[in-house]
Amino acid sequence: MLLTLEGLDGSGKTTAWEALRHARPDATFTHEPTDTWYGEAVRRSLGDDDADPLADLFLFTADHADHLSRVVRPALADGEVVISDRYTDSRYAYQAASLADTEIRRPLEYVRGIHGAFTREPDATIYLDVDPETAAARAGATDKFERAAFLAEVQSNYERLIDAEPERFVRVDAGRSPEAVIDAVEDVADRLIDAFHGDGDVADVDADSDAARDD
């Protein structure tokens, strides 16, 4: 099973992913950008405010192609649960936002189209939902994407992705304390993994249990 964590910068994905890693030592934990030289190239580009948005897209996509063939597909072929901190939806949401002012028409569809020929879509995605101002403040504006106005565009792309595939996404309110968010993510992940392995249907899992509830 491929389970991904998505959300704005500062939404708490890495905090939740680290907690899951302790709770589920049997799973394969991975992330994008990766720690390979492809990931290093991506991080260099992230640090360049003048980088061309199409160049950014193809660097991130190269990193994803390597990640797929080297980590994700082999682990899935071994029957493992793979949990990735960011994955394809990050490209659909972020690069579609950064391509919005370019010659590319319908950027979200364009970025999805590039991936369609080769990627492996997630079986389920936990979306950590936080407003762009909180996200930017938590993230500390260390790179060009960590600004509230840009993150608002990214958020609206995530909402489009969720609207298009509501059965794949589980939304968790990430505006709460770290402890509450971790509890909710652990609870949702447990139920998604159980459902995937035959104890139900992934599409029926929502954030509506005691741990995951918004209040």
Cβ 145 to ligand LXEULUCI shortest distance, Å? 4
Site membership for ligand ATP, residue 28 (CB under 6 A): no
Helix 53-67 vs helix 37-46: angle between axes, to the nearest 10 degrees? Answer: 160
Binding site for ligand LXEULUCI (CB under 6 A): 9, 32-33, 46, 60, 86, 90-91, 94-95, 143, 145
Cβ closer to ligand ATP: 57 or 180? 180
Alpha-carbon Rg of the chain, whole angstroms? 16
10 annotated among ligand-binding-site residues: yes
DSSP 154-213: HHHHHHHHHHH-TTTEEEEETTS-HHHHHHHHHHHHHHHHHIIIIIS-GGG--S-STTT-
Closest by Cα among 194, 198, 196, 191 to 212: 191
Cβ closer to ligand LXEULUCI: 158 or 196? 158
Binding mask 175-204 for ligand ATP (x = CB under 6 A): -xxx--x-----------------------
Pair 158, 132: CB distance under 8 Å: no
Amino acid found at 186 = E
181: partner contacted, choices ligand LXEULUCI, ligand ATP, none (Cβ within 5-8 A by kind): ligand ATP
Segments in the chain forming alpha helices (H):
13-23, 37-46, 53-67, 73-77, 88-90, 96-98, 107-116, 132-139, 148-164, 178-194
Cβ 23 to ligand LXEULUCI shortest distance, Å? 20
Cβ closer to ligand ATP: 11 or 88? 11
Site membership for ligand ATP, residue 132 (CB under 6 A): no
| Count of residues near ligand ATP by CB under 6 A | 15
Q: Contact positions toward ligand ATP, by CB under 6 A?
A: 7, 9-15, 138-139, 174, 176-178, 181
